[in-house]
């Protein structure tokens, strides 16, 4: 197998990892004002406890607290690998998609600030502002990644010099906007099921019920979107992957309806992974098709670095990729327990509560 093909596959794997892991982070952040409301929750405790919206929001944020920054590493690695392995792809992508990618970058910065600084000031107003930053910083990438990837797969105006010659509004075509709605609703479903898997009490049941409702909408949108995308660029292999993605998503909804949150989350995990794989299968051997002339498309051959560069990168990837995977696996295993209301103390500062919650989860293995 050619090294250009190897690195196309590796970049696809990085994007799969990013979407299945960061996807539930986006979903949780987007759902913060929806699930973070006042409820009376008996949960698993002997006595009913009044769970305020703040308690529920802190449960949700604590569920992704140990993971979200590590999940973003997949995006950084995918971007760096694209720059090193396919510099022409990177240059055309980041020049043509400059504004949406800039919006995603700013959103991620805003979201990170909200997550890191939310508990630094004991003020309701401060926390409300940080929550708004988390919601916006989660909503925009969830929407814009669908828009971007739809355009990448179906093609954009690229001339014979490998340069994007369209404008910003070329990217906001109906199919791309549909793709944005698909990724948004898919990540929200993924995030709701993650909350159901990682929390207990009333929040757990509310998250599962909401995940089912949004999941039905997402399934309908995804069937239309995948059908239209693969009708343009797909083949039997990519259609098969898309069909498996649909089956996994239906299975996830069935498991959620039966109250099996672990299997439901595994289903959305698999559906996102398979849907992303189907897009890369439909894309190959192109990396950015030209809608002006197929001969002007960027491919794994004309957009790649030298064989020597790819060889050095392969050695580095073989050494460090297992280390990253082992570390992330250890993190998810360590913080695998559910977060109940009693893990969220009401008489301490939020920042201290977060540390206490993490210590409690690590101690209850």
pLDDT digits (tens, 9 = 90+) for 169-197: 889 999 999 999 999 999 999 999 999 99
Percentage of the chain beyond pLDDT 90 is 67
pLDDT at 200: 87
Model pLDDT for residues 225-238, shown as the tens digit of each residue:
999 999 988 789 99
In DSSP terms, 286 is beta-bridged to 299
Domain interval for residue 356: 3-363
Instruction: Please state, in angstroms and rounded to a whole number, the distance separating the CA atoms of residues 236 and 125.
Output: 54
**Per-residue tokens: 85:** 């392995």
Task: Report the domain count for the chain.
Answer: 1
**Is 144 in contact with 106 (CB distance < 8 Å)?**
no
**Is 29 in contact with 137 (CB distance < 8 Å)?**
yes
Model pLDDT for residues 89-103, shown as the tens digit of each residue:
999 999 899 999 999
Structure confidence at residue 41 as a pLDDT band (50, 70, 90):
very low
User: How far is Cα of residue 352 from the mean position of the Cα atoms in its chain?
Assistant: 28
Element (H, E) at 70: helix 68-71
Instruction: Please state, in angstroms and rounded to a whole number, the distance separating the CA atoms of residues 51 and 340.
Output: 10
Task: Name the one residue in this structure whose structure tokens are 């101690």.
Answer: 363
Instruction: Mention every residue, 6+ apart, whose C-beta is less than 8 A from residue 37.
Output: 53, 56
**Per-residue tokens: 312:** 């050095």
**Per-residue tokens: 180:** 């944005």
Structure confidence at residue 321 as a pLDDT band (50, 70, 90):
confident
Percentage of the chain beyond pLDDT 70 is 89
Structure confidence at residue 222 as a pLDDT band (50, 70, 90):
very high
Angle, in degrees to the nearest 10, between helices 124-154 and 174-198: 130
Is the predicted pLDDT of residue 82 greater than 90, yes or no? yes
Residue 259 is given by DSSP the state T
**Is 135 in contact with 33 (CB distance < 8 Å)?**
yes
Model pLDDT for residues 249-303, shown as the tens digit of each residue:
999 999 999 999 999 999 999 999 999 999 999 999 999 999 999 999 999 999 9
Give the chain's end-to-end CA distance (angstroms, integer): 44
Per-residue pLDDT averaged across 206-214, rounded? 95
Instruction: Please state, in angstroms and rounded to a whole number, the distance separating the CA atoms of residues 87 and 45.
Output: 56
Instruction: Please state, in angstroms and rounded to a whole number, the distance separating the CA atoms of residues 101 and 61.
Output: 25
Instruction: Please state, in angstroms and rounded to a whole number, the distance separating the CA atoms of residues 154 and 233.
Output: 7
Instruction: Please state, in angstroms and rounded to a whole number, the distance separating the CA atoms of residues 284 and 277.
Output: 11
Instruction: Please state, in angstroms and rounded to a whole number, the distance separating the CA atoms of residues 314 and 320.
Output: 10
Is the predicted pLDDT of residue 365 greater than 80, yes or no? no
């Amino acid at each position: 197998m050619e090294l250009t093909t190897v690195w196309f596959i590796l970049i696809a794997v990085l994007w799969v990892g990013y979407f299945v892991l960061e996807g539930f982070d986006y979903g949780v952040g987007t759902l913060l004002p929806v699930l973070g409301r006042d409820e009376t929750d008996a949960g698993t405790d002997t006595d009913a406890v009044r769970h305020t919206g703040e308690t529920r929001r802190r449960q949700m944020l604590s569920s992704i607290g140990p993971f979200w920054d590590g999940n973003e590493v997949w995006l950084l690695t995918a971007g760096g690998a694209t720059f090193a392995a396919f510099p022409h792809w990177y240059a055309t992508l980041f020049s043509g998609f400059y504004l949406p990618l800039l919006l995603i970058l700013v959103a991620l910065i805003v979201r990170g600030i909200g997550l890191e600084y939310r508990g630094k000031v004991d003020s309701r107003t401060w926390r409300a502002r940080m929550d708004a930053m988390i919601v916006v910083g989660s909503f925009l990438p969830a929407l814009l990644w669908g828009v971007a990837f739809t355009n990448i797969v179906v093609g954009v105006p690229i001339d014979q010099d490998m340069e994007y010659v369209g404008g910003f509004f070329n990217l906001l075509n109906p199919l791309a906007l549909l793709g944005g709605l698909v990724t948004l609703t898919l990540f929200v479903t993924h995030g709701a099921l993650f909350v159901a898997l990682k929390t207990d009490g009333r929040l757990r049941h509310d998250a599962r019920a909401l995940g089912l409702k949004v999941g039905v909408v997402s399934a309908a949108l995804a069937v239309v979107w995948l059908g239209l995308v693969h009708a343009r660029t797909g083949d039997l292999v990519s259609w098969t992957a898309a069909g498996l993605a649909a089956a996994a998503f239906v299975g996830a909804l069935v498991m959620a309806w039966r109250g099996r949150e672990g299997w439901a989350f595994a289903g959305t995990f698999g559906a996102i992974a398979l849907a992303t794989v189907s897009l890369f299968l439909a894309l190959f051997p192109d990396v950015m098709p030209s809608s002006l002339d197929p001969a002007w498309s960027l491919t794994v051959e004309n957009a790649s670095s030298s064989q020597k560069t790819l060889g050095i990168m392969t050695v580095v990837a073989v050494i460090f990729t297992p280390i990253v995977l082992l570390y992330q696996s250890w993190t998810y295993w360590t913080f695998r327990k559910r977060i109940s209301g009693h893990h969220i103390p009401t008489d301490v500062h939020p920042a201290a509560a977060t540390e206490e919650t993490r210590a409690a989860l690590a101690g209850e293995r």
